[in-house]
Amino acid sequence: MVSQTLTENRVLKTTKAFAVIFAVTKLYKYLWGRTFVIATDNSAIQRILTPEKGLPLRANHRLQHWATILQGFNYHIEHRKASLMSVPDALPHLPSPVNLKLISPLIKPPITVDEVSEHSLKDPTLLKVFDLTYHGWPEHNPFPDHSELTSYFKLRDEISIQQKCLMMGNRVIVPPSLRGQALTILHMGHPGILISKLL
């Protein structure tokens, strides 16, 4: 059995993908040149890392890097119920005494990570997206009457959580309450469309 304690908070989807990459790189000598099966209890990981389909266009850099690592192997990925994988599934849920302290930068940004996180958790739609991303999205859209949640459902494989902020690929999902401030900041550094085209 192969295991590792993670030193950062990761979303369930990212944790499961990291587990696949960690096992494949750790068992490299035994897997290279052979066909093998990766069993996962997370259907999103099956969709994202399947060799036949490829990554979503806006997948975050970490998933893109991991998919590149897996391209060197001949594997099939299959979904299994968590009840059939009790031992591997129990390992990530064990308590860990390690606490990681992050050092904040010396210069305070115009909008901080804490502000984005706080405003995201106050917004009912983003709070629901946060919860679904953390615990796993259902297979079928349970929100056919809610257009905003349906939009997020279509992009569910590209959404992740980093430092308690929702990300789509490598971009932050800015909560509606901060969008005006974010646009003002972006426009302050933008020279205008004509000058931009000349550059």
**pLDDT tens, per residue, the chain with 199 residues:** 555 555 555 566 677 788 888 888 888 888 888 898 888 887 877 777 877 776 666 777 777 788 888 888 888 888 888 777 766 656 555 555 554 444 444 445 678 889 999 999 999 999 999 999 988 888 888 888 888 888 999 888 889 998 889 999 888 999 999 988 888 877 766 666 655 555 4
pLDDT in the model for residue 2: 57
pLDDT in the model for residue 177: 92
* 3-class secondary structure, 74: strand
- pTM (two decimals): 0.46
**What is the domain partition of the chain in residue ranges?**
12-93, 113-188
pLDDT in the model for residue 174: 92
CA-nearest of 175, 183, 189, 58 to 113 is: 175
Q: CA-CA distances (angstroms) from residue 182 to 19, 115, 163? A: 35, 12, 19
Q: Which helix (H) or strand (E) holds 112?
A: none
Q: How far from the centroid of its chain's Cα atoms is residue 173's Cα?
A: 12
pLDDT in the model for residue 12: 62
